[in-house]
Structure 1
Amino acid sequence: MLPLHTRVLGITLVLLGALSPATATRDDLKYVNPLIGSTNGGNVFAGASLPYGLAKPVADVDGENTGGFSTDGSNVTGFSHMHDSGTGGNPSMGQFPLFPQYCADNDINNCKFPKAARAVHYKNDSVEARPGYFALTLENGIRAEMTSARRAALYRFTFPEEKTENGTALDPTILLDLTDIYDTRQNASISINRESSRVKGNGTFLPSFGAGSYKAYFCADFSGATVRDSGIWVNDRAGSEPKEIFVTRGFNNFYLQAGGFVTFNRPENGAVTARVGVSYISSDQACSNAEEISDPLNDFDALRSTAETAWRDKLSPIKVTPGGVSDDILRSFWTGIYHTMLSPQDLTGENPLWSSDEPYFDSFYCIWDAFRAQHPFLTILDPRAQSKMVRSLIDTYKHEGWLPDCRMSLCKGWTQGGSNADVVLADAYVKNLTGIDWELAYKALVNDAENEPLEWSYEGRGGLQSWKRLHYIPYLDFDYLGFGTNSRSISRTVEYAYNDHSVAVVGKGLGKKDYTTYLSRANNWKNLFKRDQKSILTNGTDTGFTGFFQPKYLNGTWGYQDPIACSPLTDFCSLTSNPSETFESSVWEYLFYVPHDMAALIKFLGGADSFVSRLDYFHESGLADISNEPVFLTVYEYHYAGRPALSARRAHSYIPSKFNSTNDGLPGNDDSGAMGSFLAWSMMGLFPNAGQNVYLIAPPFFQSVEYTHPETNQTATIRNVNFDSSYKNIYIQSAKLNGKPYNKNWIGHEFFTQGWTLELTLGDKESDWGTKKEDLPPSMSDSLASVEALHA
């Protein structure tokens, strides 16, 4: 929670807004719709959570269930307490689901136990999702509501009155299943206290995108009704004795289904409350976490209100004056911001792997997705939390030997590209985040750059011998030092180049003499640029552009990957399906990934006009994959060619056509808030080049946006003059910074920390604003002066 002085300031600003003629939005929480992105592969978590919370209760379905719930019309199989958001791939977590039901004739063996048997559809119009609250009604009439504390979930199940054929009232039963969404459970146990009917247990599970296994624990209590019976169930049968069970995976991988049950005498109001604490430490710790909710029978509404207050506090630094834009635009914007703070999860005090006084965050899912926009966004919205996340990454290096590139449920996740925690650390450095041990951080960065782990599929970098000797990652590299998926030679080359630039940025700022080594390696992307390489479409049409990255063998001769392969025009290339020399994107898309030296890239591609022509073709031909993160910066790279107006036009081509307020309003997997942060940045009128003190300027989608820095309490403002809500005027004609003419098409982080005012005069045609050489963002070819200036 924000400190008292910040919260008082936020309240004061709201009161001043109410008294003034300005139309800045208030109570912005009402615009957050957690169901945006709940279908069409958005995979968002739609349930109840606190910011960065561990407990995340929601209904689990048998359809698109990566985030637990989807509005795809599938069936509910349970209500579980731990989830990730927008992770893609295999479903994540969802352990120990509860399932409420009536059992015919009040016979426990008439209950439906396995997931497939008990699955029931929900009433489509019954779903309610708001920050800190989720509810729906099953087709059988049972109503499920849930809210959340930090590490405990609170459910309220309301059972409609039903009777047997002879008129006897049916009694509610709640099952607890020793499983997870993806049935990865390896073993599990459950025990039920005879006197209190408290249910405790644990299980060992597999991560959805990583190596190893992890153990999770729960502790469940029930209130609101007296207990009639309790016991265990296995497959299709149950009994009151015994009160505990241990299950394994099952013979020959047969999945043994088992759990516990509690049957209640139906209360007069039909409501049974379940409080479930979760933990990675122990069942006793889970019980302690459950007791965060001291009075579960009466605390539901208060807990929900507390969650809403926590979310209001997190959203409070930003205020917008809509200027007549629709509520749909506002819902997209605020929901995008909301999604950035569901993960990573704050598991400080819940890490059994090592003892430390440092914060511990988990669900970095994955940094390859999040470093580009999400972590820079948290740097302005919640710098304290972002600083803790950086400290957590560094502490993970301290205790496990490597900065993670992907991490979930205490496990090491698969590395998708480079060692992109390097970029997160560099971004924190150039933006002067506090509380970070930069000497230790630099050791972690140099470790990534210099030392190859035995298994570089889930940490560090592979092929470092070739990287240092040949200055590129070869196709079919001979790498005997470590082991990983021997692919992605192009994408790893361009990413390693930027990772080394990040090392150089921090090293130079700290006065390290070896920074020049990494500055030199940041040029290695040039060694895979094949100047005479053409690109032909599948129908045989020449795209008309020459010069693309291509794979290169150890002996320096060229290999070949079709530049359009792995694009939306062909197929998808991942670690597990169709591994190629680029990861999840085409050569076309990776061609634009030289974020540290766009000036040099533009020269390689024939100058500004040629670059713009190629970038236009990329976005308009179907080659650009807006559903995946590598495309983000390309939307704004026109700035580097002196055409910032075209960046604004490109952003409007994707918003709201691909990003909108419908349930399928994300173009692809949210990736733990990556999509939401791209949307939020774009609508705020700035876009970061992560790892650098650079924000590219474009007109906000609102009349004005105000941002109050949570640490300096300075308020920065971006104001549009001649704004129109139909978005005809989207081109900057002129700009003023603090009342003085400003022609640069970018701005530094000082804008936020010092509370500057940027006034943009708009028109309906491209102007010459921001187009001159001196107006362009810096490139490595220029200098690192902006870093030195910030730390002077």
Structure 2
Amino acid sequence: MARAKACLSRCSHPGRSHAFPGASLPYGMAKASADCIGEAHGGFSSDGSDVSGFSHMHDSGTGGTISLGNFPLFPQYCPNNNMTECKFDKTQRRVPRGDYDASPGYFDITLADGIRGEATVTAHTAIYRFTFPENITFGGTADNPVVTIDLNDLGGTRTGESGLVVDPQTGRVYGNGTFRPSFGTGTYNLHFCTDFRGGQIQDTGIWNASGPFSGDENLSFNGYNPGGAFTRFEPSNTDTTILVRVGLSFISSNQACRNAESEIPEFEFDWVRRAAEAEWQKKFSVVTIDSEGVDTDLTTIFWSGFYRTMLSPQDYTNENPLWTSREPYFDSFYCIWDSFRSQHPFLTLVDPVEQARMVRALIDIYKHEGKLPDCRMSLCKGRTQGGSNADVVLADAYVKNLGGGINWHLAYEAVISDAEEEPKMWDFTGRGGLDSWKTLNFIPVNDVDTKGYGLQTRSISRTVEFAYNDFCIAEMAERLGHMDDREKYLSRAGNWRNLFKEDQNSSINDVDTGFRGFLQPRYADLTWDFQDPARCSPLYMMDSCYLDGGGGETYEGSCWLYTFFVPHDMASLVDALGGPSRFTERLDFLHHSGLLYMGDEQAFLTVFLYHYAGRPAISAERAHFYIPSQFNNTDAGIPGNDDSGAMGSFITLTMMGIFPNPGQDVYFITPPFFESVSIVNEQTGKTATIKNINFDPEYKNVYIQEATRDGKPWTKNWIDHSFFAEGGILELTLGLLESDWGTREEDLPPSMSAIRM
């Protein structure tokens, strides 16, 4: 049996995925790594670019502009021991990289100038170990190690009031800065507290655009100006090791200092590193895989994906200055439009206690700000990309009976607010166009909205997402006894049909694909507009449907893709697209033609939709195609932004053989990529095991011939959460050819149309 050992050698692909490769605890606020000059959304990147410093807070896998990376340190030798020749500002600070490595809770890099930087963390504090090699000048005198602090962030967003104080007696530097979020609105104020151990401090001071000033103790700005602090150490004729501890807080500099002093009182770098690794091992230990014979690259991407799902959201409990509450507070929901599809269902399986705390945090945000977020970072409201998809997260937790002290009545109030009450500005919370949604039963092109304002785009994708959001509300309404609400929201859940144009065809490169019936934009007078069904796919105008460009009526995906998004009533969609056989042909075309981009999370569910057509074997084929063709152990092995671990959770769930239909109590069954997978439920203490009979590590036997659950025949091609909560054994007998297992109508996952019959 194997647990997480593979993850300890390589746990991120810090390339175009923007995954954070540095030191963090699970859901930790402090995230320490080297930062690079290039594509630095995750701080460090494998793009080969120079290093500009070491900073202590990052997000992982994000799009938008670069976030966080506040108050970077830069260790250096200054030419000729002349402080005026030090590299202070980011425009000056750059040094080529040498060897680097990372593992859970630890980051290590040696720069081209020979200085080695190591980082590890606690919850709110980073500690660095900088090793300065022996460095002798031509005059035979040892150089002075210097560490500078920059009062900026990685994206250069500092604004408003900021400043720092240097204590010349102790060398402590503390201060704060006001910054802008990367994919949202507003500003946030962050505080730091830095202490040094190791070399003997020679002098301290501040620097600004005019240069360094020894003996000056204070620096303050209103607006952006370059500036920071420096600490110079006595020279040594041997290697010098400097430990730098950086406490962080959104409350105050005093609290940043208290965080540092309580979490790392003795500057014991190796002890902190071991404690961080132990925290990760505890998280990994709930899953056991039998990986005998499996390619080590596959086990690596499995554990790497697992690891990345727990980098964010980040636990900022007791670090929220916006309101006082006894509830948990999580941040860096970045964004729920991405994470509801697989990350949160994955955490419900492997870390239900923390997932329950995240749900409570979402509800508390509603309580104090009036709306659930669809995206949130750095205490700020993030952009809403489509529907009100926190509704799906809450419904997913509710239908799976997630425990943990969640106030479900307040949760229901929150989702009803999304469905019924339009905010004045709906680009950042809630839904826009609710009058049209309730009267026309779809979002029209160029909607006239008298209650609020926001981007008047994405009418198709917002319509189908609103429909699914309302289905999720109907699920909660039924279980809470609100039967009138149940009927209302089930009715609205069918609104996708009002944008389905039965006679719409699709041509690619002037060749008719032969398929009819696609979602299309529509005006309020019920006449049709036209959007090429292939637009916003890799085959045609891919970049024309983002929030900041093109104004398309779908978001980050084509009508080809969104026409398949009816996750609550796939039986009706299968019928609308010509029945199971024709549906399968169309889904095959989506996957074979180049229309589908797996780098966006909307693509995930399409891999498994064959289950609704009675062809679960093809879902298994698709899973084994995308892993490892697009998800693999290379720098390009994550096809898009990791989005706080959304891509990682797709990998882990797919390889475990239990992909969710998020917001419903449904997991599609496909064969795991390992002979067996076991999951311990932290809330119930029960173990669920999925075991392959006739397992073949070359993956020729990927077709389920028959299945048993606790020794009894299991013919359904899906399973519900009770299996994981109550424990048991699901045995899948595999073979070389597709069988009739899971193909009967009664074996298919549930659909809304069947519920309402």
Give SS of 2:80's match.
Answer: helix
Contact kept, 8 Å, 1:37 with 1:670, in 2: the verdict is: no
- The answer for the alignment partner of 2:530 in structure 1 is 560
Alignment of 1:423-502 (within 5 A): 423-434=392-403, 435-502=405-472
- The answer for the alignment partner of 1:655 in structure 2 is 627
- The answer for the alignment partner of 1:690 in structure 2 is 662
- The answer for the alignment partner of 2:135 in structure 1 is 162
- The answer for the alignment partner of 2:376 in structure 1 is 407
Contact kept, 8 Å, 1:36 with 1:665, in 2: the verdict is: no
Given candidates 148, 151, 159, the residue that maps to 1:186 is 159
Q: What runs of 5+ residues in structure 2 fail to find an aligned partner? A: none
- The answer for the alignment partner of 1:247 in structure 2 is 221
- The answer for the alignment partner of 2:12 in structure 1 is 36
Given candidates 748, 762, 765, the residue that maps to 2:734 is 762
Give SS of 1:442's match.
Answer: helix
Measured against aligned partners, the alpha-carbon deviations of 1:377-424 in whole angstroms (never above 9, x if no partner) come to 000111010000000000000000000000000000000000000000
Contact kept, 8 Å, 2:28 with 2:123, in 1: the verdict is: yes
- The answer for the alignment partner of 1:274 in structure 2 is 244
Given candidates 530, 536, 547, the residue that maps to 2:507 is 536
- The answer for the alignment partner of 1:117 in structure 2 is 92
CA distance in 2, matches of 1:295, 1:374: 35
- The answer for the alignment partner of 2:110 in structure 1 is 137
CA distance in 2, matches of 1:315, 1:439: 33
CA distance in 1, matches of 2:265, 2:389: 44
CA distance in 2, matches of 1:756, 1:468: 45
Given candidates 56, 62, 80, the residue that maps to 2:55 is 80
Given candidates 174, 178, 183, the residue that maps to 2:147 is 174
CA distance in 2, matches of 1:36, 1:339: 7
Amino acid paired to 1:399 = H
Measured against aligned partners, the alpha-carbon deviations of 1:161-203 in whole angstroms (never above 9, x if no partner) come to 1123321110100000011111001142011012111000100
Given candidates 346, 355, 359, the residue that maps to 1:390 is 359
- The answer for the alignment partner of 1:257 in structure 2 is 226
Measured against aligned partners, the alpha-carbon deviations of 1:313-338 in whole angstroms (never above 9, x if no partner) come to 11111000013101111000011000
- The answer for the alignment partner of 2:344 in structure 1 is 375
Contact kept, 8 Å, 2:30 with 2:56, in 1: the verdict is: yes
Alignment partner of 1:585 is 2:560? no
Measured against aligned partners, the alpha-carbon deviations of 1:458-497 in whole angstroms (never above 9, x if no partner) come to 0000000000000000001000210110000000000000
1:603 Cα deviation from its structure 2 partner: 0.7
CA distance in 2, matches of 1:480, 1:183: 37
Give SS of 1:655's match.
Answer: helix
Contact kept, 8 Å, 1:323 with 1:723, in 2: the verdict is: no
- The answer for the alignment partner of 1:545 in structure 2 is 515
Contact kept, 8 Å, 1:42 with 1:86, in 2: the verdict is: yes
Alignment partner of 1:95 is 2:91? no
CA distance in 2, matches of 1:457, 1:360: 23
- The answer for the alignment partner of 1:639 in structure 2 is 611
Alignment of 1:282-361 (within 5 A): 282-297=252-267, 299-361=268-330
Give SS of 1:632's match.
Answer: helix
Alignment partner of 1:520 is 2:488? no
CA distance in 2, matches of 1:365, 1:783: 33
CA distance in 2, matches of 1:394, 1:730: 41
C-alpha change, 1:210 and 1:33, in structure 2 (3 Å) is farther
Contact kept, 8 Å, 1:530 with 1:548, in 2: the verdict is: yes
CA distance in 2, matches of 1:35, 1:681: 17
Amino acid paired to 2:200 = T
- The answer for the alignment partner of 2:477 in structure 1 is 507
Amino acid paired to 2:190 = A
Instruction: Report the identity percentage.
Output: 56
CA distance in 1, matches of 2:434, 2:264: 54
CA distance in 1, matches of 2:468, 2:675: 36
Alignment partner of 1:671 is 2:646? no
Contact kept, 8 Å, 1:114 with 1:236, in 2: the verdict is: no
CA distance in 2, matches of 1:235, 1:559: 55
Contact kept, 8 Å, 1:223 with 1:296, in 2: the verdict is: no
Amino acid paired to 2:279 = A
Contact kept, 8 Å, 2:11 with 2:307, in 1: the verdict is: no
Contact kept, 8 Å, 2:6 with 2:299, in 1: the verdict is: no
CA distance in 1, matches of 2:182, 2:551: 19
- The answer for the alignment partner of 1:222 in structure 2 is 196
Contact kept, 8 Å, 2:13 with 2:46, in 1: the verdict is: no
The RMSD of aligned alpha carbons is: 1.2
Given candidates 64, 74, 83, the residue that maps to 2:39 is 64
Amino acid paired to 2:752 = M
C-alpha change, 1:667 and 1:399, in structure 2 (3 Å) is same
Measured against aligned partners, the alpha-carbon deviations of 1:551-590 in whole angstroms (never above 9, x if no partner) come to 0001010011110001111222210122210001111111
1:239 Cα deviation from its structure 2 partner: 1.1
Alignment of 1:588-627 (within 5 A): 588-627=560-599
1:283 Cα deviation from its structure 2 partner: 0.5
CA distance in 1, matches of 2:30, 2:12: 20
CA distance in 1, matches of 2:197, 2:406: 45
Contact kept, 8 Å, 1:57 with 1:146, in 2: the verdict is: yes
Amino acid paired to 2:445 = Y
CA distance in 1, matches of 2:136, 2:92: 22
1:296 Cα deviation from its structure 2 partner: 4.3
Alignment partner of 1:234 is 2:234? no
Measured against aligned partners, the alpha-carbon deviations of 1:290-329 in whole angstroms (never above 9, x if no partner) come to 11344444x1111100011100111111000013101111
CA distance in 1, matches of 2:705, 2:729: 17
- The answer for the alignment partner of 2:652 in structure 1 is 680
Larger deviation, residues 363-372 vs 110-119: 110-119
After TM superposition, the score normalised by the length of structure 1 is 0.94
Given candidates 175, 200, 205, the residue that maps to 2:179 is 205
Larger deviation, residues 154-163 vs 410-419: 154-163
CA distance in 1, matches of 2:262, 2:597: 44
Amino acid paired to 2:471 = H
CA distance in 2, matches of 1:784, 1:132: 50
After TM superposition, the score normalised by the length of structure 2 is 0.98
1:719 Cα deviation from its structure 2 partner: 0.5
Alignment partner of 1:746 is 2:718? yes
1:664 Cα deviation from its structure 2 partner: 2.2
CA distance in 1, matches of 2:407, 2:88: 52
- The answer for the alignment partner of 2:683 in structure 1 is 711
Contact kept, 8 Å, 1:113 with 1:236, in 2: the verdict is: no
Contact kept, 8 Å, 2:75 with 2:146, in 1: the verdict is: yes
- The answer for the alignment partner of 1:25 in structure 2 is 2
1:115 Cα deviation from its structure 2 partner: 1.2
Measured against aligned partners, the alpha-carbon deviations of 1:333-371 in whole angstroms (never above 9, x if no partner) come to 011000000000000000000000000000000000000
